[in-house]
């Protein structure tokens, strides 16, 4: 099933009220379908930020990308979701993940669980949210029923199975995280393809296939792709130049080349919902224009 493209910008840079509203309106002008906010210490708090984004705009959906489940109890999170869904007139998408940065857990005074423990907590959170958001007494403000769309960011088999069972949107970063401290290691294209294939096996019995999301980590408009990659090879010394050029999470080239890459990736992996970081919001806007309606 080939889905139409959707485009999101993940706002990770703090801003005061007027500047925040201006950036959100600019995202809408550029054609972004979703305005997202991360859940990391040192970045904007997700729920007030997405409410402000919704009030500044008319069309885009909004949501956290993704919430660190360790920072939330299910009951308090259900209250936030119901309230924000009401305040945004049903424009909310909820992104959930395990949380992967040990240092942030320590700063927040939250226990740093084992990888399995973090998955256990997320699974309990997902199940409890489904129960609580289905309870009129707890979630009477909800606009979207039975709940807002759920996005889960996943890599390992247990997370991919959980995503296949519960999520409307399956999100991939194209990276692995260290179980010790959360350090990211980029997957090559074949490794990412294997993860997507594993997810598809787990999701084979779904009545409605999930939307597949990819986080684009770098957007660089250039006429010389190889020269650009050579300048960045030191960041990923375990990859070759050709492997970097083949990475789905990197967009390097002219705008038509980028559009062609995204079409090919949608065909190969199924990625139709694409997120870029706010640092690349303007550059990627030209790609959105190239792909609009496809």
CA separation for the pair 145, 147 (Å, rounded): 5
For residue 219, give the nearest of 265, 259, 251, 249 by alpha carbon: 251
Lowest-confidence segment of 68-82, 131-145, 276-290 by average pLDDT: 131-145
CA separation for the pair 36, 33 (Å, rounded): 10
pLDDT level of residue 242 (50, 70, 90 thresholds):
very high
User: What's the whole-number mean pLDDT along residues 34-52?
Assistant: 97
pLDDT value of position 181: 73
Report pTM: 0.96
Angle of helix 46-56 relative to helix 17-30, nearest 10 degrees?
60
Name, in order, each residue with C-beta under 8 angstroms of 260's C-beta and a sequence gap of 6 or more. none
For residue 45, give the nearest of 27, 69, 67 by alpha carbon: 67
DSSP state of 92: B
Number of H helices, E strands in the chain: 12, 13
CA separation for the pair 287, 173 (Å, rounded): 20
pLDDT value of position 234: 85
Second-level CATH architecture of 6-291? Alpha-Beta Barrel (3.20)
* 79-119 confidence digits (pLDDT tens): 999 999 999 999 999 999 999 999 999 999 999 999 999 99
Q: Hey, where are the domains in the chain?
A: 6-291
For residue 271, give the nearest of 245, 242, 291, 241 by alpha carbon: 291
């Amino acid at each position: 099933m080939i889905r139409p493209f959707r485009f999101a910008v993940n706002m990770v840079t703090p801003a005061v009220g007027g500047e925040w509203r201006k950036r959100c309106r600019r995202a809408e002008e550029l054609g972004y379908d979703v305005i997202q906010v991360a859940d990391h210490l040192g970045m904007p708090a997700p729920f007030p930020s997405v409410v402000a984004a919704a009030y500044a705009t008319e069309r885009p959906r909004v949501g956290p990308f993704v919430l660190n489940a360790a920072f939330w109890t299910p009951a308090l999170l259900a209250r936030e979701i119901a309230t924000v869904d009401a305040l945004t007139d049903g424009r909310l998408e909820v992104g959930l993940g395990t949380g992967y940065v040990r240092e942030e857990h320590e700063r927040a005074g939250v226990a740093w669980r084992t990888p399995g423990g973090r998955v256990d907590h997320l699974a309990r959170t997902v199940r409890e949210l489904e129960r609580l958001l289905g309870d009129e007494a707890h979630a009477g403000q909800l606009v979207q029923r039975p709940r807002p769309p759920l996005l889960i960011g996943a890599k390992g088999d247990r997370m991919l199975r959980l995503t296949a069972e519960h999520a409307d949107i399956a999100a991939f970063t194209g990276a692995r995280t260290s179980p010790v401290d959360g350090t990211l290691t980029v997957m090559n294209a074949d490794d990412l393809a294997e993860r997507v294939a594993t997810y598809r096996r787990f999701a084979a019995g779904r009545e409605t296939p999930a939307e597949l999301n990819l986080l684009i980590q770098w957007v660089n408009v250039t006429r010389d792709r190889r020269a650009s990659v050579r300048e960045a090879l030191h960041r990923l010394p375990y990859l070759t130049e050709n492997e970097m050029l083949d990475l789905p999470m990197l967009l390097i080239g002219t705008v038509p080349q980028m559009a062609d890459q995204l079409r090919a990736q949608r065909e190969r992996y199924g990625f139709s919902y694409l997120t870029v970081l706010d640092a690349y919001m303007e550059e990627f806007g030209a790609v959105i224009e190239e792909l609009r309606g496809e």
